[in-house]
Structure 1
Amino acid sequence: MRRLKQLVCAVVIGASLFGTIIAPAMAQGPVNASAEQEREYDDAFQEMLRKPADLDVLFKFATIATKTGDYEGAISALERMLLVNPDLPRVRLELAVLYYRLGSYEVARTYLEAVVASPGIPPEVRARAEQYLAEVVKRSSPSRFVGETFAGVRYQSNANLGPPTSSVRLFGQTANLNQSALGTADWGVVGSGYVRHIYDLGTQDKGALETQLTGYANRQFQLSQANVSILDLTSGPRFQAFQGIFEDVSIKPLMSLGYIWVNDVPYYGSYGSGVEFGALLSDKLRNTSNATYRRLMYQDSWYLPFNSLYTGNEYSANTTFQYALTDAVMLFGNGNIQRYMTDNSPQYAYILLGVGGGMQFRFADPLFKSQLPWSIALSANLQWWNYDQPDPVVDPTLTRQQNDVILNITLSVPFDERTNLIVSGGRFVRSSNIPNYDFTNNSFLMGVSWRF
């Protein structure tokens, strides 16, 4: 049971890190231009100044400006083309796409409707315009769904998070595990995703009701006891606070429900509440913080007959800072604290402290020369666990303490604006004063994500 508890904690930690570290790596946006691109941009700009009415020159500059991330410059050039010749549906489409990328959906809608209404436009232009128009309508609607899914394969050098040696503690004495309980390598499939519904309340404080369902599941090829499934539901209103004092501060009180299965057997259910804060501290620095309470109800079963001993209350808080060092480099740091208090088993109660950080670097597509940047994300997280009392079954004289080191590197390669190839490598090392809980797990993950 203790090994399963360790496995589930590690999976939940890994799932949360996947959401907070890899998701930013999937974000698309302009990237810093290379020296060669800067020269090309400057040359095109000077040529445009010399020939302000030449459509070919204007379009060339708009194309280069888009590649280097100067969307406003590209928009200016394309709008000048329409002043010279208003009958250019392809130019209107490119303008719509640029306004869409900037979040100006109503302006984008105006251009897209004009493109769709144009007679005799090529079918591929009409199809692309209709695709963007549908997306604009969805984003402009007071009720909309957004989400993301991921599916892939993963290798783990220690899929069951077993100790490296058979020597463990039992009732304060040295005991030997059988070989099947030691760390074992395995491959498996992994799937995760979320669906978020946003309903605009139409209030001056930009209030919206946000409901999100998140899911995670892995299936091992050999070690079925390491299969974990997670469902989590949160819902609550988000609104802008301190308007007129701060530029962008949002508050979201929320309610939550969750359930976890291990080896396809119910493990625990949870319910709780909390509050999330978001603040734009400067034009480059953003903070997101939350504090939550959850009641965790562990269930006894044929597979886990004493699982209810872990039932208790969880109090947690975390904060994350994101700093845009440049258009291409994002730095982030985070800290968290968690207190878990069991109802009747103080040997399983603990306090957890954690810190972490990393960076995301976006760069121009080196292979296909598309306008979509690739990205690499690096992260490191440290955690310290301190338990309240010794576990008499393990060692009645020794209170458990453990430290975690979690490292990850992720490459994101976009196929299009919604689909990405994700390749990730990680290392999870847990060190404990009780050898039962030591483990090292190296992992490799590859799969495809899709946003909608």
Structure 2
Amino acid sequence: MSVFALLAAALSATIVGVRPAIAQQTQAVSPELEAEYDAAFQEMLKNPSDLDVLFKFATIASKTGDLEGAISALERMLLVDPDLPRVRLELGVLYYRLGSFEVARSYFEVTLKSASLPPDVKARAEQFLAESEKRLTKSRFTGEIFAGMRYQSNANLGPPTSSVRLFGQTANLNQTALGTADWGAVTSGFLRHIYDLGQNNPAQLETQLSGYLNRQFQIQAANVSILDLTSGPRFKAFNGIFEDVTLKPFGTVGYIWVNDVPYYGSFGSGLEVGTLLSDKLRNTTNFVWRRQMYQNTWYIPTNNQFTGVEYSANSTFQYAVNQAVMLYANGNLQRYQTDSTPWQNYMLYGVGGGMSFSFTDPLFKSELPWSISLFGNVQWWYYDQPDAVVDPTVTRQQIDTILNLTLSIPFDQRTMFTVSGGRFVRSSDIPNYAFTNNSALIGVTWRF
């Protein structure tokens, strides 16, 4: 079993932060929706006191991203009839999306005082009121927890055959070291703390603790536990030059256990750069330096040979085709340099992409859309020197191909059921490291 591969598989299977429960998303207006918007606007001009006409325009305006136009139409409806709790709720939601949390809170509070309040309106108003009050505090916590079950066709990521290389010769592995199927329990999540640095200062201090834990039913050697803590200030940069650029320098520490024994601890620092390139396109780029300190254990007596420094960069582009379709593309680069074992040094290059498609709930007919996401990633590994213990004549090269398909079904604004299928294929010029692992994952995500 390759411990590095085991960790890669564990991280690729982590499902956290699938989608924010309440978030303002980039709007991409189709020609059809734009024409519908123009027609609704003209109809509103002809019938400025018709509630149905006003509500229709507000709905279309919200879809196109014209939040101010939608607010104007809804406020006009309240002038005609003040006893419209659903309209007050939608006004609060629009102000929330604009970042006017104080105004949004006032609308939610008035909505909840209405004598004729439908249960669904009451539930949404209470949730958004809580979110608005959270946003108005200088110090606030958010988080997410995922819990589920996973099947893997090759849980220990072992090679498909017993024929491997040892000191340049063909050797045979024990049958127990071959790829073996297994079920396991998976839990992951994060706790994020945000502290606003001042009323007139848009900067905030962000601290996040992330965790991952899997427990296999049979193959205990495939158990993985991960803790990672990052913290740093996020602030806007280049005001007046670029519309929306944020910088976040941060420090990070982490620890990983494999087979329930310590594997390595790490510390480092990095920089995250977020840029809104257009109304449809956003980029997030990270640069990270990390010191990894491996310790010898009964499980891996020579583990300290991997101690060294990792340099990595990752860039992700997110493009909104329309309200239903989001496209993603990413590239990553990584260099690992050990202290004393150059045959463990490597360069890694990766590219990937995918898409997310939202659609109307086909089963329960709720207002919450379902989504399907497809992501793929290919990584090329190039090691510096041959490993004499494995094969002194071959310098290791390998390719990872990772695919994942996910269906997300929301129960409410905070809870989501997820079904996911994945395939992880590693090909290598040394058979010791090649494997294929197909997986299926089901679970529930809860946000708070």
Q: What TM-score do the two structures reach when normalised by structure 2?
A: 0.90
Q: Is the 1:276–1:291 Cα contact (8 Å) retained in structure 2?
A: yes
Aligned-partner residue type, residue 391 of structure 2: D
Shift of 1:285: 1.2
The answer for the alignment partner of 1:5 in structure 2 is 4
* Residues 427/416 of structure 1: CA separation in 2 closer, same or farther (3 Å cut): same
SS in 2 for 1:389: coil
Give 1:426-441 correspondences, 5 Å limit: 426-441=422-437
Shift of 1:365: 2.0
**Corresponding pairs, count:** 447
Shift of 1:75: 3.8
Q: Among residues 232, 239, 243, which one is paired with 1:236 in the alignment?
A: 232
Deviation per CA, 1:269-328, whole angstroms, max 9, x where unpaired? Answer: 100111111111111111111111111111112222221111111111111111112222
* Residues 303/284 of structure 1: CA separation in 2 closer, same or farther (3 Å cut): same
SS in 2 for 1:366: coil
The answer for the alignment partner of 2:403 in structure 1 is 407
SS in 2 for 1:206: coil
- Tell me the distance in 1 between the aligned counterparts of 2:102 and 2:22: 26
* Residues 72/443 of structure 1: CA separation in 2 closer, same or farther (3 Å cut): farther
The answer for the alignment partner of 1:360 in structure 2 is 356
Q: Among residues 256, 259, 264, which one is paired with 1:260 in the alignment?
A: 256
Shift of 1:415: 1.5
* Residues 269/424 of structure 1: CA separation in 2 closer, same or farther (3 Å cut): same
The answer for the alignment partner of 1:448 in structure 2 is 444
Shift of 1:106: 2.4
- Tell me the distance in 1 between the aligned counterparts of 2:364 and 2:191: 31
* Residues 163/23 of structure 1: CA separation in 2 closer, same or farther (3 Å cut): farther
Q: Does 1:208 align with 2:207?
A: no
- Tell me the distance in 2 between the aligned counterparts of 1:449 and 1:25: 11
Residue identity over aligned pairs, in percent, reads 70
Q: More displaced, 432-441 or 327-336? A: 327-336
* Residues 171/359 of structure 1: CA separation in 2 closer, same or farther (3 Å cut): same
Q: Among residues 389, 392, 409, which one is paired with 2:388 in the alignment?
A: 392
- Tell me the distance in 2 between the aligned counterparts of 1:289 and 1:176: 44
* Residues 204/49 of structure 1: CA separation in 2 closer, same or farther (3 Å cut): closer
The answer for the alignment partner of 2:138 in structure 1 is 142
Aligned-partner residue type, residue 290 of structure 1: N
* Residues 246/70 of structure 1: CA separation in 2 closer, same or farther (3 Å cut): closer
- Tell me the distance in 2 between the aligned counterparts of 1:384 and 1:188: 29
* Residues 251/165 of structure 1: CA separation in 2 closer, same or farther (3 Å cut): same
Q: More displaced, 278-287 or 36-45? A: 36-45
Q: Does 1:95 align with 2:71?
A: no
Shift of 1:123: 8.5
Q: Does 1:346 align with 2:345?
A: no
Q: Is the 1:347–1:387 Cα contact (8 Å) retained in structure 2?
A: yes
Give 1:72-111 correspondences, 5 Å limit: 75-111=71-107
* Residues 425/312 of structure 1: CA separation in 2 closer, same or farther (3 Å cut): same
Q: Does 1:416 align with 2:415?
A: no
Q: Does 1:173 align with 2:169?
A: yes
- Tell me the distance in 2 between the aligned counterparts of 1:26 and 1:137: 14
SS in 2 for 1:302: coil
Q: Among residues 155, 178, 182, which one is paired with 2:178 in the alignment?
A: 182
The answer for the alignment partner of 2:377 in structure 1 is 381
Shift of 1:34: 11
Shift of 1:202: 1.6
Deviation per CA, 1:337-390, whole angstroms, max 9, x where unpaired? Answer: 111111111121111111111111222222233222221111111101111111
SS in 1 for 2:358: strand
Q: Is the 2:85–2:117 Cα contact (8 Å) retained in structure 1?
A: no
Shift of 1:447: 1.1
Shift of 1:266: 0.8
SS in 2 for 1:326: coil
Q: Can you give the 5+ residue segments of structure 1 that lack an aligned partner in the other structure?
A: none
Shift of 1:8: 2.1
Aligned-partner residue type, residue 420 of structure 1: M
- Tell me the distance in 1 between the aligned counterparts of 2:26 and 2:345: 47
- Tell me the distance in 2 between the aligned counterparts of 1:25 and 1:88: 25
The answer for the alignment partner of 1:283 in structure 2 is 279
The answer for the alignment partner of 1:224 in structure 2 is 220
Q: Among residues 142, 158, 161, which one is paired with 1:162 in the alignment?
A: 158
- Tell me the distance in 2 between the aligned counterparts of 1:319 and 1:32: 22
- Tell me the distance in 2 between the aligned counterparts of 1:75 and 1:126: 20
* Residues 123/190 of structure 1: CA separation in 2 closer, same or farther (3 Å cut): same
Aligned-partner residue type, residue 419 of structure 2: V
Shift of 1:37: 10
Q: Is the 1:279–1:288 Cα contact (8 Å) retained in structure 2?
A: yes
Aligned-partner residue type, residue 154 of structure 1: R
Q: Can you give the 5+ residue segments of structure 2 that lack an aligned partner in the other structure?
A: none
Q: Among residues 322, 344, 352, which one is paired with 1:326 in the alignment?
A: 322
Aligned-partner residue type, residue 103 of structure 2: V
The answer for the alignment partner of 1:248 in structure 2 is 244
Q: Is the 1:205–1:240 Cα contact (8 Å) retained in structure 2?
A: no
Q: Is the 2:28–2:280 Cα contact (8 Å) retained in structure 1?
A: no
Q: Is the 2:296–2:302 Cα contact (8 Å) retained in structure 1?
A: yes
Q: Does 1:317 align with 2:316?
A: no
Shift of 1:28: 8.2
- Tell me the distance in 1 between the aligned counterparts of 2:54 and 2:200: 40
- Tell me the distance in 2 between the aligned counterparts of 1:400 and 1:414: 44
The answer for the alignment partner of 2:293 in structure 1 is 297
Give 1:4-23 correspondences, 5 Å limit: 4-15=3-14, 18=15, 22-23=18-19
- Tell me the distance in 1 between the aligned counterparts of 2:362 and 2:12: 33
- Tell me the distance in 1 between the aligned counterparts of 2:423 and 2:22: 21
Q: Is the 2:21–2:447 Cα contact (8 Å) retained in structure 1?
A: no
Q: More displaced, 185-194 or 74-83? A: 74-83
- Tell me the distance in 1 between the aligned counterparts of 2:333 and 2:220: 31
* Residues 67/361 of structure 1: CA separation in 2 closer, same or farther (3 Å cut): same
* Residues 351/24 of structure 1: CA separation in 2 closer, same or farther (3 Å cut): farther
